[in-house]
Amino acid sequence: MSGYSFAILTCDLGTAARRGRITTPHGTVETPAFMPVGTAATVKAMTPEEVERLGFEMILGNTYHLALRPGEEVIGGLGGLHRFMGWSRSILTDSGGFQVLSLADRRQITDDGVVFRSHLDGARLVMTPERSMAIQRALGSDIAMAFDDCPALPSERDRLAAAVERTTSWARRCRDHVAADGPALFGIVQGGDDRALRERSARAIAAIGFDGHAIGGVSVGESAARSREVVRFTAPLLPEGQARYLMGMGTPGDLVAMIGLGIDLFDCVLPTRNARNGSLFTSTGRLQIKRAEFKDDAKPVDEACTCEVCRRYSRAYLRHLFLAGEILGLRLNTLHNLHHYGTLLARARLAIEEGRYAAFRDQHLDPAEAPADEVAGPRSE
């Protein structure tokens, strides 16, 4: 793709953490980076201006959902996804492969592609590697993801092996179909929690020749500890000089741990979805704002936080808004959680630059911070 590049600026000596920079036609993305999820052309409860002010330089959109509503023809005809949603920075689009898992009861999968029955109205949607590439081109993505077969965990080894073969075949078709002036294209490694299959997938995907690579098929039903173990043995298999993207994971502790393994790019619905459920991330752990103990609590959500919510509003007020079902409460909760993620990643980048990432990781890592059922779940908002 014209205008795309990835450069490693420095590496931490005590870990595999890398400080890098992705360049796209819509600007630079300082890595390690977190992408807020904007499945339906919106980061829920936030304006694009607010997301950018929080320091985020790339967001994620979803091919399947946008193809259904409002349709790629509508978005393309209005100038592409950037103009359609008023976001001027970079956009990465998921290929629709995750819906092979999340909509398993509404799809039929073959070696050619997947036939979905829309979760909106039951309409038939055929998604093939070629169709996924065409949709992402119409959306004007900066980075497109190859269409993949994402199985749940646990799954039988035969299912995992079939997904590896299908993902490899589809990846080649995506590579053949993407235009020279189209988006950058990332391949996806599958293989579940099977080391041999992960190695087979990583070798096959790397040989095709992508602009970057992603670890898929994690946080899809397995425990948080197992997810991290899968990433631990998969990350070193990815090409060292290209961007490494961990799809759909995870908590702040996940991010800190996975950066130390050499991951450059993340997305997850947790900061925004948890915010809408009244679960707020703080420097001392998660806080459930609806709890009765906060009814008359004048303190901010996090006394160590510098976001505008913590500077201005009390726990008591946020609890009132949440229990009253006020939209403002969901917005303020989301702003705080995204600020927490953005600040954490900025501090991680600085720690890598200063060669002290191991100490930073050990200070922030809490393997028990989130139950497995919150880590493993749908990626789409």
Q: Which residues are catalytic?
A: 94, 267
Residue keyed to tokens 């020279």? 180
**What are the C-alpha distances in Å from 306 to residues 314, 339, 349?**
13, 9, 18
Transcribe 90-101 into DSSP letters: EEEEE-STHHHH
| Alpha carbon distance 134, 115 (integer Å) | 16
- Nearest CA-CA partner of 342 in 354, 350, 331: 350
- Nearest CA-CA partner of 181 in 146, 210, 142, 212: 142
What is the token pair recorded at 102?
Answer: 């999340």
Residue keyed to tokens 């600040």? 343
Backbone angles phi, psi at 211, to 5 degrees: -80, -20
Contacts of 362 (CB under 8 A, 6+ apart): none
**What are the C-alpha distances in Å from 351 to residues 9, 11, 20, 232, 249?**
13, 10, 13, 21, 21
CB 248 within 8 A of CB 379: yes
